[in-house]
Structure 1
Amino acid sequence: MSTEMHLIGARVRYGPLEALHGVDLPVPAATVTVLLGRNGAGRTTVLRALAGTVPLASGRLLWRGEDATRWPAHVRARRGLCLVPDLRAVYATLTVAENLALCPAAPDAALDAYPALVPLLPRRAGTLSGGERRMLAVSRALLTPDARVVLVDEPALGMSPPVAARTYERLAALTAERGAAVVLAEQRLPPPGALPRGTLVHELRRGSLAFSGEPAEVATWTPESR
């Protein structure tokens, strides 16, 4: 299993507060990686550190073995990184159709995954429900054909169970069909069957990695079992 990106000893600070405490996190290619953690655990900060939207206070980021620590976010995006944040992931003043038109591919794959967006195409994104906004936001990942790394913060937030299941299915397909590394930040593990075989799980607690393993191991893991 080759490694697409690798955070090494990553520390991130927001002013005087340190959000990540020396995190070592490999991101394998063609694999789904799930970052678990409560609010404030550091999972969103890990995504931002990978994307380059926050700088590392110390540590390194390797991308296919090349030191990418100082690459700005736009350079990482040009090299194939797609970030779907949990907030401000769509342009509220643009219509759904205009948001989709900003993506590098035709909207067919997104509208096939989310047919509920079709009647919403003329509506401004700011008028959508939370689940509808997430569908539109995740569409960015589906419509970026050259993405090598796809980072999605809370992909199914606000979605109904059937739509959430379809979302996980389409994101997992990016690993099989495109060889992309997909990293999902979640408060809790998605339901059984939602994640493909070979998925890796890392749990963050207070800015440090507390657990790494397979989804089936999460339910039986305790700090004492490490």
Structure 2
Amino acid sequence: MNGISLRDARVRYGPLEALHGVTLAAPSPGLTVLLGRNGSGRTTALRALAGTVPLSAGTVIWDGTDVTRLPAYERARRGLCLVPERQAVFGSLTVHENLELASQRYDFALDAYPQLKPLLQHRAGTLSGGEQRMLALSRALLARARVVLVDEPAQGMSPPVAARTYELLAGLEACVIVAEQRLPPGLRHRTPVLVYELRRGTVVFGGEADEQARR
């Protein structure tokens, strides 16, 4: 299967184990949601897939290839894009400069988020939380990555902009994995959307979004 997966993944932060043998698979193209409260392991799962935290056991498989020992920068070079919850933009650069780093032609990003047009000459660090998320997502959309990992994509956004964000992510021809505390309303009956619910570092549910919504 094309896509990316964790198999029996364990991650330790010093003496504490954050993931306890997590197995999950995200298809490509497709949208997968990792659900869980703070401390559930969903952010750590994204970082493990991206290679920004090492596994203490288990494997990361990408399009059938074991990439567990591949460093994060090499995964990025091969088409993996991680949008973390914090520090996802270059705060000292303008909105224009942030977008230009991703692509010389960024009209698509401004069409997706027209709210950014009047902010092009503003420094990214002066934007509101929701505006910074729009900018971070714009850069991810422009990257045309094969795998897109986003931690809380709609944080700080108004409901209409959040709904637009999920439409954009669901429409990508890529393997898209997002981490959220709860399932966004617009995805509850969308097919196909895979959902994995994590609790204290283990997977407690895996299935389609409409199944999870009925629980």
Corresponding residue number in structure 2 for 1:172: 170
Corresponding residue number in structure 1 for 2:150: 152
Flag the 1:195–1:95 CA change in 2: closer, same or farther, 3 A. Answer: farther
Distance 2:122 2:104 in 1: 20
Flag the 1:24–1:193 CA change in 2: closer, same or farther, 3 A. Answer: closer
TM-score of the two chains, using structure 1 as the length reference: 0.92
Distance 2:137 2:110 in 1: 11
SS of corresponding position for 2:211: helix
| Alignment deviations for residues 78-134 of structure 1 (CA, whole Å, 9 cap, x no partner) | 111011110010111111111111103521111001101011010011110010000
Please tell me whether the aligned partners of residues 19 and 202 of structure 2 are also in contact (alpha carbons under 8 angstroms): yes
Determine what percentage of the aligned residue pairs are the same residue: 66
Where structure 2 has 5 or more consecutive residues not aligned to the other structure, the ranges are none
Following superposition of structure 1 onto structure 2, how do residues 71-110 of structure 1 map, counting pairs within 5 Å?
71-104=70-103, 106-110=105-109
Query: Which of 198, 204, 209 does residue 210 from structure 1 map onto?
Result: 204
Following superposition of structure 1 onto structure 2, how do residues 192-203 of structure 1 map, counting pairs within 5 Å?
192-193=186-187, 196-203=190-197
TM-score of the two chains, using structure 2 as the length reference: 0.96
Flag the 1:198–1:131 CA change in 2: closer, same or farther, 3 A. Answer: same
RMSD: 1.3
Flag the 1:194–1:209 CA change in 2: closer, same or farther, 3 A. Answer: closer
Please tell me whether the aligned partners of residues 60 and 67 of structure 1 are also in contact (alpha carbons under 8 angstroms): yes
Please tell me whether the aligned partners of residues 169 and 195 of structure 1 are also in contact (alpha carbons under 8 angstroms): no
Given residue 101 of structure 1, which amino acid in structure 2 is its aligned partner? E
Distance 1:98 1:110 in 2: 13
Runs of 4+ deviating beyond 6 Å: none
Where structure 1 has 5 or more consecutive residues not aligned to the other structure, the ranges are 222-226
Paired residue total: 215
SS of corresponding position for 1:192: helix
Flag the 1:79–1:196 CA change in 2: closer, same or farther, 3 A. Answer: farther
Please tell me whether the aligned partners of residues 163 and 186 of structure 2 are also in contact (alpha carbons under 8 angstroms): no
Please tell me whether the aligned partners of residues 169 and 194 of structure 1 are also in contact (alpha carbons under 8 angstroms): no
